[in-house]
Amino acid sequence: MASGRNNTAAGPTSAPVIQTPYMKVMARQQQAAALAAAKAARIQTILQEKTQAQNQLRRLPAPECKSNAKAKFKPVKAENFAERHCEKLQQPKEPVALGKIQAMPLDQRKALLLGEKWNVYIGDDVVWEKIPKNLLMTVSTKAQEAYAKGDKGISLPKDSIDRQTVSFLLHFLVETCHRTIPFKLPLRPTVTLNLALVKAGILLGMELITAPIQQSLIEYIKAEIPQYEEISIIERDLENDAIFRRLVDKLVYWRYKGMIPDPDKFEAFLAQHKTLSDAMDKHSEELNFRSNLRQERAMERRELIAQYKAARAEAKEARKEHQDKDTEILNTVRNKLNGKLGGGFKIQTVTAEEARLLRRR
C-alpha cells in the first residue's frame, strides 16, 4: 500500500492549462474562420443547385406557336405617353393657389405642361395659342367649366380686358412651371395695371393666383385715397370684389371725419358715379344702424348695472337691519342672564327670537 502511494506520488501529474488573452483571440478567430468556411460551402451548394435547375429548364422543348405571324411592335409616341402621364391632372377637384404650384417639385410642375393644348380667346381674337390644358385645369375655374361643357379653350367677352394683361398672367404661369426656383407674381408698374391684372384673374377664374396683387391693392387703399381715375376703374371693373368694398369703407370713414381734401369736387364726382354713391349710402346706413344698435345695447347694459347695484344696496341694507336686530336681542338675553333686568333672578324665560339667536350662537 505504501509502495502504491509512492508510485502515485512519483508519477507525472497534468498541470492545468492557463489560456492567455492571445490564445483566446486566436481561438475566436479560428472559430470565425470555420463558420465562414461552412457558410461559403453552403452558398456554393445553393448556386450549383440553381445552375442545375436552369440547365434542366433550357433542355425542355420550346412551346409550339399556333400562328406563324410575326409579332409587330409599335413604338410609343411621346404625345400618347404624355396624355397617359397626365390623366390624373386633367380634372382636379378644385383650383389651387399659386403657393401650392410653386411648392411642387420641378418634375410635377413640368408635367402640367404636357398633354392637350388649348387656346384662350377674347371675343374672336386668339390671345394665347396652345397653352397646356392641364395647367389651366389646375388653376382656373373657368377652364373647368369649359371642360365640363366640352369646349377646347377659354373664351372671354369681347373688349372685356386688354390682351397684354391676359398674356402677362398666362406667361407667368408657364414660366412658373419651367423655373427651378419659381418667383412670386410681380406687381406691375402702376395701380391701373395691377387693377387690370386682378380683373383678368376674375375673368379667367384665377382669383387664387392674383390674390397677392389684390391684397397689395387693399393695403394701398388703407394707406391713402386713390386717384379719381383709379376709383372709376375700381367701380367699373371690380364692383363685387373686396377691393371695392374696402374703398367704400375708406371713403365713408374719411367723409364722416371730414378728411376729404376737396369735398366739393368729391361730391360732384359722386353725382356722376351712381354705383359708388349708392354703395357709400348703403354702407353709411349700415354703420348708423350698427352705431344705434351699440347705443341701445350700451343703454340696456347701463340699466342692468343700475338695477344690480340697487338690488345689492337693498340687500346690504336688509342685512344690516337684520344684524342690528340680532345685536339688540343678544344684548337683551345677556342682560337677562346677568340678572340686570327686574326680578333679581339670573335665569328667566326667553322669547322665540331670543331662543333662535341662542341656538345660532
Instruction: Kindly state the DSSP code that residue 118 receives in the 8-state scheme.
Output: E
Residue pLDDT, tens place only, 149-201: 888 888 888 888 888 999 999 989 888 888 888 778 888 889 999 999 999 99
**Cα–Cα distance, 203 to 200 (Å, whole number):** 5
Alpha helices in the chain (DSSP H): 2-10, 21-59, 78-85, 98-102, 106-111, 133-139, 141-149, 163-178, 191-203, 211-223, 228-237, 242-257, 263-272, 274-338, 352-360
Residue 251, CA atoms < 13 Å, CB-side half-sphere: 25
In whole angstroms, what separates CA 230 from the centre of its chain? 33
pLDDT value at position 77?
42
3 state DSSP class of 121: strand
Please give the average pLDDT of every successive group of 10 residues along the chain, which has 361 residues. Answer: 44 54 77 86 84 67 46 41 42 59 82 86 84 86 86 86 89 87 85 91 88 90 88 88 89 86 88 88 81 78 88 90 82 70 56 72 60
pLDDT value at position 198?
92
Q: Which three cell numbers stand for residue 230?
A: 383709379
- Cβ 283 vs Cβ 252: under 8 Å: yes
* β-sheet bridge partners, residue 119: 153
pLDDT value at position 197?
92
